[in-house]
Structure 1
């Protein structure tokens, strides 16, 4: 029995291999189980949690007219991701978890919608040679922009710019489509393209009204033959250090660990994705309208000198056509300009490092004269790079009569 225990301990030591995450000089976390000595056959496990305390400066009321507490807590994300290869020619990835669990959607027995785990990604992929891969499943190889492919493990801002996840809940499941993708690179040009099925269900459950504006539920209204497919692509040219495209998740900030300058462009097309009613109340006539979204962006991340300081900057322009005068929540036919910039202050990489940042987005809509603006001012405290960090952010959102101000403190641990 003693010999078996020693053998088991030895095997565990042999299969545990660790890789370095962005900006974590004192932590080599990220568990990797090796199934052969070379490490080409393995299972990789990643887990992370983001917990928030949100203070809203504005008074709000519930459906019964009672005033809501201005301080609330939120389990923003709790995720587990694993991927495995037993041969360099193919890979399987599984990613599950929950999002935005609050006291409002907690379930007494953990069976409510807010408490439920669900699959974010499940796909299989096959190598087509050294630099090209084909795959399929529920995947995150999205088009449009870098932010539409953003990782939530290494964000620079508190969270992603909401409007940049341009189809979330409209044609997909939480920014993931079910379909096939092709990804790879030609020298310094990386690419990802996909053909997917549009979801029958949509957050936009409105019915088209005669003479009214477009609604985004073409697959449900017109069927899968007429409105069942979406097409997406994103292309970025890596001028300096080459980013990995092994997984689809784009890094938010490298904290100066690389020198990156990329320029990209992308698209999303959903033929007849939206519908309008060109008839009358008595004789409706439902017609499809194409959804077309295009964007161009640039990303820069580099160290400044030898003292640990670093600059991260990003800018993106997005043009969105969801159909005639479409407006639903954060989505709308119109255009958006967004940017953020952050600066890692001088400091010892083995100690806590600070990164103040600012973000700003402005979104114009064809349907209304008012613009939506979002301002974020915050600071990150990296205790072990992205593996352990605190983020404090003040956010102001303004749209028409709505002007909200929120202060959020978020703790994140990523292993």
Structure 2
């Protein structure tokens, strides 16, 4: 029998094992190719897709005054993540994909900006003994809060609280920074710390107006020496079961698979990351404003008896300082409180289970008197844990003249 035939048989067997594993609630995800007998040398591949149908309850219009269709479709995420370990002392991870592919970002030949795959993460890490690791690259070892390190594979709500990804597109590439990190634990206290380069190009390309508010593009305007670095960290203490910190992604809901109670705190600092104009519009004088974000949070996830029911709860307080009266999109200098709670009904863990949930967030801004308030009411139908689930959610957002009401249905599968 040829080597090529043996390889095809081997791949078929692994694919068959993967299909069997998908149907199990305790499936850990991914096609794992072992390079030695005990599996300590391996390559693991994980793939997932989230597809949405969104129905807007409010009448809206396009730029030409035409009514928009209330029903729209969205490929929210399409991702592939690969990581390999051929020695217990080091690991390499590669994560790529696309986000929010819809009618506005589709292109005729698939070559438009919105259609392109890009790297969400590429980093290498090295173990420093048993409990500490150092690494570098385009990474996701973020600071601030649990939700700023949230995995998109196992969120309880349909999507993450947007303001919790507090630097996305402002100093990073889609919530990932380029730099070095160290992570590990001291007994039950887990930590992650990072020093990174700030992105030169940001979503906030506004010009600082004389006597006006801060804009977040200090790296571009003041240079890398004064405004080139960011510093981040997050620590949480695990009172009950300990979570894995092998990868940076925080779990949204264990569906009763663990008994977790953690209290955490984190920060993000970008010296002179924002700027204000203390001169005139014709002769601007740009002064740096330090960006500093701090948060404390708590996460609780537990089974409720032996019948398959479970409770998940999370709460966070976040203080945001992006500079004087900063306000851009959903982000601004001020404070935020956010929380969510979900309950998994009792039932056979090998069959479909349901989890209704409620989320609420309120974000106040120094620049305006209005607060941004967001309410989410939804239900998850887990057909094979997070590996195959449907989510139906109603989300209401109010901020000034904005009063948005959307009903969304999302289908997700990950292998």
TM-based fold match above 0.5:
yes
Q: Residue 114 of structure 1 aligns to a residue in which SS?
A: helix
Alignment of 1:384-399 (within 5 A): 384-399=384-399
- The 3-state SS of whatever aligns with 1:346 is coil
Are residue 105 (structure 1) and residue 93 (structure 2) matched? no
Equivalent in the alignment of 1:115? 115
Say if 1:31 and 1:227 are closer, same or farther in 2 by CA, change over 3 A.
same
Label 1:381 to 1:16 Cα distance change in 2 as closer, same or farther (>3 A): closer
Aligned 8 A contact 1:166 1:331 in 2:
yes
Partners of 2:19 and 2:99 lie apart in 1 by 26
**2:302 match:** 302
Deviations 1:139-189 (A, max 9, x none): 000000000000000000000000000000000000000000000000000
Superposed displacement of residue 4, structure 1: 6.6
Query: What is the DSSP-based 3-state SS (H/G/I as helix, E as strand, rest coil) of the residue aligned with 1:220?
Result: helix
Q: Which residue of 1 aligns with 2:45?
A: 45
**TM-score when scaled to structure 2?**
0.97
Residues 367 and 35 (structure 1), Cα distance of their counterparts in 2 relative to 1, 3 Å cut: same
Aligned to 1:361: 361
Q: Which runs of 4+ in 1 moved over 4 A?
A: 10-24, 26-29
- 1:4-403 alignment, distance < 5 Å: 5-6=5-6, 9=9, 13=13, 24-25=24-25, 27=27, 29-403=29-403
Indicate if the aligned counterparts of 1:310 and 1:345 stay in contact, CA closer than 8 A: yes
Structure 2: unaligned runs, 5 residues or longer? none
Please state whether the residue corresponding to 1:221 is helix, strand or coil: helix
C-alpha distance in 1, partners of 2:196/2:266?
16
* CA apart distance, 1:51: 0.2
Confirm or deny: 8 A CA contact 1:16 1:31 kept in the other structure. Answer: no
Task: Quote the offset at 1:9 in angstroms.
Answer: 2.7
Provide the aligned C-alpha RMSD in A. Answer: 1.9
Maintained 8 Å contact 1:22/1:254:
no
Alpha-carbon distance in structure 2 between the residues aligned to 1:21 and 1:120: 27
Moved more, 143-152 or 21-30: 21-30
Q: TM-score, normalised by structure 1?
A: 0.97
Between 244-253 and 14-23, the greater mean CA deviation after superposition: 14-23
Cα deviations by residue, 1:185-242 (Å, 9 ceiling, x for unpaired): 0000000000000000010000101000000000000000000000000000000000
How many angstroms apart in 2 are the aligned matches of 1:322 and 1:51? 33
Corresponding residue for residue 408 of structure 2: 408
Instruction: Please identify, of 283-292 and 7-16, the stretch whose mean Cα deviation from structure 2 is larger.
Output: 7-16
SS at match of 1:201: coil
Offset, 1:283: 2.5
Secondary structure of 1:9's counterpart equals helix
